[in-house]
Amino acid sequence: MIRLDHLTKRYGATVAVDDVSLDIPAGAICALVGPSGAGKSTLLRLINRLIEPDGGCVQIGGAEAGTLPVVALRRRIGYVIQSVGLFPHWSVARNIATVPRLLGWETARIERRIDQLLDLVGLPPSLATRYPHELSGGQQQRVGVARALAAEPELLLMDEPFGAVDPVTRRTLQDALLEIQARTGTTIILVTHDVDEAVRLGTVIAFLSHGRLVQAASPAEMLRAPASAEVAAFFGGPRLGLRLLQTASAGERADFARTIAGEPVEAEAMLDEVVARMAAAGVTSLPVKDGQGRRGVISLDDVVAR
């Protein structure tokens, strides 16, 4: 578990992070959101001590981060930034091996790990000997994630990791991240400007404004009961309800006791996709099928039910 305990960071008269306390359970994906200048990136950098706090502390797995040697601490925490920051003079394999080499792993173990990671982030093994400038933006970002995960960190910090790639690639990378997280169980704290990304990826969303933590809740809770007008406006104001459709899947709302004819939607499809299908077909209910081949029905009433 990651515990932020009354964290404060001042720059002169401005308080960048103001008395933030937050518990993030192990295995969670916490999305830090909020307007520009809210202190999201500062908060992230306080966790791996690229910045030292003026007050409060960070606890990682029960140990206080401030008491650990800073270099050793950072080797336990993966770090991914928007500009990726791959070392241009090193091959993909050498980039991924960064932290294991710093930790002094044996060569054979490092090589096995590189193979595993390329597979984990969905890159072909042939890319290992390439250099960063030979890769596409999406591939570079995957290598960045592989590098951050190389030494099996208990925590992964991501500062707008997919901010610089096109929307289609972003979506693919988000799916890849969810899959990686499901396989590794790594706790992730992610800064994002993208509301959809926060709702899609976050198991917890933490909303910051002027350095203060305004609300921390699951996406569904935050969308149902935003703590302030600012939070509600951030998530879409009058259209906030549409985002609520991104927080539940068809399978969670479908009635599997009966079925109807037609092309079924997958049970994993989110409710926004169900509504889109209904609107396109001009109907108010659709058949559903899940992974085990069960069939059911979802109606517009089920979609908007609370």
Binding site for another protein (CB under 8 A): 48, 50, 71-75, 77, 79, 81, 83-89, 98-99, 102, 131, 133, 147-148, 157
Instruction: For the chain, report the end-to-end CA distance as a whole number of angstroms.
Output: 31
Partners of 7 in the beta sheet?
Answer: 20
Nearer to another protein, 131 or 256 (CB): 131
Give me the least distance between CB of 37 and another protein, in Å please.
19
Q: What's the 3-state SS for 178-218? A: HHHHHHHCCEEEEECCCHHHHHHHCCEEEEEECCEEEEEEC
Give me the residue label for tokens 């609520």.
Answer: 244
Nearer to another protein, 8 or 98 (CB): 98
Q: Which is nearer to another protein, 16 or 99 (CB)?
A: 99
Comparison of 155 and 303: residue with beta carbon closer to another protein: 155
Q: Are 120 and 177 in contact (CB under 8 A)?
A: no
Collapsing DSSP states into helix, strand and coil, what is residue 249? strand
Tokens standing for 77? Answer: 């925490």
Least spacing, CB of residue 66 vs another protein, in Å: 16
Comparing CA positions, the residue from 148, 76, 81 lying closest to residue 113 is 148
Three-state secondary-structure class, residue 81: strand
Cβ closest to another protein, residue 87 vs residue 301: 87
Q: Is 305 left (phi over 0), alpha (psi -120 to 50) or beta?
A: beta
Contact yes or no for 276/295 (Cβ under 8 A):
no
Beta carbon of residue 190, minimum distance to another protein (angstroms, whole number)? 15
Report the nearest approach of another protein to the CB of residue 83 (Å): 4
Closest CA to 202 of 17, 33, 36, 26: 33
Residues 208/38, Cβ–Cβ less than 8 Å: yes
CB of 184 to another protein, least distance (A): 18
Our CB check for another protein shows the closer of 163 and 236 to be 163
Q: Three-state DSSP class for 244?
A: helix
Least distance (Å) between residue 24 CB and another protein: 19
Smallest gap from residue 139 Cβ to another protein (A): 17
- Distance, CA of 194 to CA of 256 (rounded, Å): 34
Nearest alpha-carbon partner for 1 in 39, 30, 41: 30
Nearer to another protein, 12 or 104 (CB): 104
Nearest approach, Cβ of 102 to another protein (angstroms)?
6
Is the CB of 153 or the CB of 251 nearer to another protein? 153
> For residue 148, what are the contacts with CB-CB under 8 A and spacing of at least 6?
78, 79, 80, 156, 158
